[in-house]
Amino acid sequence: MEPLIRNIEDVYNPDDRRARLLTLDDNPPTCTLSYSEIPPGGTSSHHIHEWEHEVFIISGSGTIYCDGNEYTVRAGDAVFVPPNVDHYTLNNGGEGDIHRIEVNPLIAAQSGGGGSRTGVGTGQPPVIRNLSEIDQSDGPARRVLAADDGAVNYIMAYRGLDPGSTAPKHAHPGEHLGFVIEGTCILQVDGRDYTVRRGDVALVPPNSEHEWRSNSDTKAAWLVFNPA
């Protein structure tokens, strides 16, 4: 089966400064993924809902508010927002727009999204972990947010690819969802090559043999969201 590959530029909506990269219409098995921009002084949607979600800050900095408590976020931060927590992100970091992606379990889109409902949450703090803090001894595949952080639907990992290198070819029962955050490389799926670049989402179907390999003299890197 062919992977789904889509870039931010393909679906970017300048009116709401969003790109819906993976939606229910794509029949994803586990989660949806979107990109958004928050201008200086602006905020993300302020809401509370029964599902968790994960956010990655591509660039910019600001403050995420969870049940009234403030937490600083910056470029390279992976954020796990627990379910039933009243939350929003404010761009007050003085570094221009915040560029970020957000990943939600399917129930979020199936129920119509979080809307603007606010309320009193559980008080559980978010998990915020910067890529610079990830254990380098894990090799090219490094866990970022996992089950012990509360990620019961999907986990986040980081993968880096140095020039001239190849990630091991493999297949697994669950899908493989990647978002390229740096560089360009080749994604091979069931023997066919596809070029992927910064800003691409790539959904590899379950049980498809795939590998990633370098096609340039610069590093490539991507985030992976796999079923927990």
104-140 residue pLDDT tens? 999 999 987 766 677 788 999 999 999 998 876 555 5
pLDDT of residue 193: 97
Q: Kindly state which CATH superfamily the domain 8-131 is placed in.
A: Jelly Rolls (2.60.120.10)
Beta strands in the chain, from DSSP E residues, in sequence order: 4-7, 12-13, 18-22, 31-38, 53-59, 61-66, 69-74, 77-81, 87-90, 98-105, 127-130, 141-145, 154-161, 176-182, 184-189, 192-197, 200-204, 210-214, 220-227
**Cα angle at 87 between 86 and 91, to 5 degrees?**
160
Domain range annotation of the chain: 8-131, 135-227
Q: What is the mean pLDDT of the chain?
A: 93
Region 20-44: what's the mean pLDDT? 97
Q: Are 187 and 210 in contact (CB under 8 A)?
A: yes
**Rounded-to-integer distance, Cα 140 and Cα 158, Å:** 8
Across residues 167-184, what is the average pLDDT? 93
Look at the alpha carbons of 143, 149, 152, 153 in this order and tell me if their dihedral is positive or negative.
Answer: negative
- pLDDT by residue (tens digit) across 63-114? 999 999 999 999 999 999 999 999 999 999 999 999 999 999 999 999 877 6
Predicted confidence at residue 52, as pLDDT, reads 93
Structure token digits, residue 194: 């596809």
Residue-level pLDDT at 140: 58
Burial class (CB in 10 A: 0-12, 13-18, 19+), 170: exposed
pTM reported for the whole predicted model: 0.94
The single-letter code of the amino acid at 26 is D
Dmax (CA) for the chain in angstroms is 51
Same fold, 8-131 and 135-227: yes
The third-level CATH classification (topology) of the domain covering 135-227 is Jelly Rolls (2.60.120)
Above pLDDT 70, what percent of the chain? 96
**pLDDT for the residue 137:** 55
- Rounded CA-CA distance 168/35 in Å is 28
